[in-house]
Amino acid sequence: MAERSISAKETVRDQPNASQFLLNVSNLRLYFKTTKGVVQAVDNVSFSLGRRRSLAVLGESGCGKTSLARAILRLLPRNIHTFSGEIVLDGVDLMKLDEERFRREIRWRKLSFVPQAAMNALNPVLRVGYQVAEPLIVHFGLDRDEAFKRAEEVARVVGLPVDFLNRYAFELSGGMRQRAIIAMALITRPELIILDEPTSALDVLTQANIMNSLKKIKQEFDVTYILITHDIATSSELADEVLVMYAGQLVEHSPAARFYKTPAHPYAQKLMASVPTLREDKTLEFIPGQPPSLINPPKGCRFAQRCPYRFERCAEDPPAFSLDGGGVARCWLLAR
Partner 1 sequence: MLENLKRLFSYFSVRSFLLLFTVVVAIYLIIIIANMGGYMDKIKESEIMEQVYNTVRGNPALQRLSPSELRAILDKQIEIAKRQAGLDKPFITRSLEYLIRGITLNFGRAEQMTSDSGSNQVRLILLERLPHTLLLWGTADLLVFFVSVFFALALSRRYGSFIDRLSVSLAPLSTPPVWFYGILLILLFASFLRLLPYGGFVDAPPPSTTLAYVLSVIKHMILPVLSVFIALIFSSLYSWRTFFLIYSSEDYVEMAKAKGLSSRAIERRYILRPTLPPIVTSFAMMMISLWMGGIVTETVFAWPGLGRLLYDAIQHVDTPVIVGSNVIYGYLLAITVLLLDFLYAALDPRVRLGGARRS
Q: Which residues bind partner 1 (CB under 8 A)?
A: 73, 75, 103-104, 106-109, 112-113, 115, 119-126, 134-135, 138-139, 161, 164, 167-168, 170-173, 176, 184
| Nearer of residues 52 and 167 to partner 1, judged by Cβ | 167
Residue 301's identity, in one-letter code, is C
Q: What's the CA angle centered on 189, arms 185 and 195, to 5 degrees?
A: 35
CB 160 within 8 A of CB 171: no
Residue 105 CB, shortest distance to partner 1, in Å, is 9
DSSP code, position 292: P
What gap in Å lies between CA 276 and CA 274, rounded to an integer?
6
Q: Which residues contact 279 (CB under 8 A, 6 or more apart)?
A: none
Residue 188 CB, shortest distance to partner 1, in Å, is 9
Residue 78 CB, shortest distance to partner 1, in Å, is 8
β-strands 55-58, 241-246 pairing: parallel
DSSP code, position 119: S
Residue 134 CB, shortest distance to partner 1, in Å, is 7
Burial bucket for residue 87 (CB in 10 Å: 0-12, 13-18, 19+): buried
Residue 289 CB, shortest distance to partner 1, in Å, is 33
Q: What's the CA angle centered on 181, arms 175 and 182, to 5 degrees?
A: 90
Of 240, 238, 186, whose CA–CA distance to 207 is shortest? 238
| Nearer of residues 3 and 99 to partner 1, judged by Cβ | 99
What gap in Å lies between CA 38 and CA 14, rounded to an integer?
34
Residue 113 CB, shortest distance to partner 1, in Å, is 5
Residue 308 CB, shortest distance to partner 1, in Å, is 40
What gap in Å lies between CA 276 and CA 130, rounded to an integer?
42
Backbone angles phi, psi at 11, to 5 degrees: -90, 160
Of 40, 83, 45, 18, whose CA–CA distance to 328 is shortest? 45
**C-alpha separations of 78 from 32, 64, 96, 111, 141 in Å:** 9, 17, 19, 22, 31
| Nearer of residues 110 and 253 to partner 1, judged by Cβ | 110
| Nearer of residues 100 and 281 to partner 1, judged by Cβ | 100
What gap in Å lies between CA 123 and CA 130, rounded to an integer?
10
Residue 124 CB, shortest distance to partner 1, in Å, is 6
**C-alpha separations of 218 from 29, 81, 131, 201 in Å:** 30, 36, 22, 22
| Nearer of residues 135 and 266 to partner 1, judged by Cβ | 135
| Nearer of residues 110 and 302 to partner 1, judged by Cβ | 110
| Nearer of residues 122 and 328 to partner 1, judged by Cβ | 122
Residue 260 CB, shortest distance to partner 1, in Å, is 30
| Nearer of residues 2 and 119 to partner 1, judged by Cβ | 119
| Nearer of residues 168 and 321 to partner 1, judged by Cβ | 168
Strand partners, 23: 49, 89
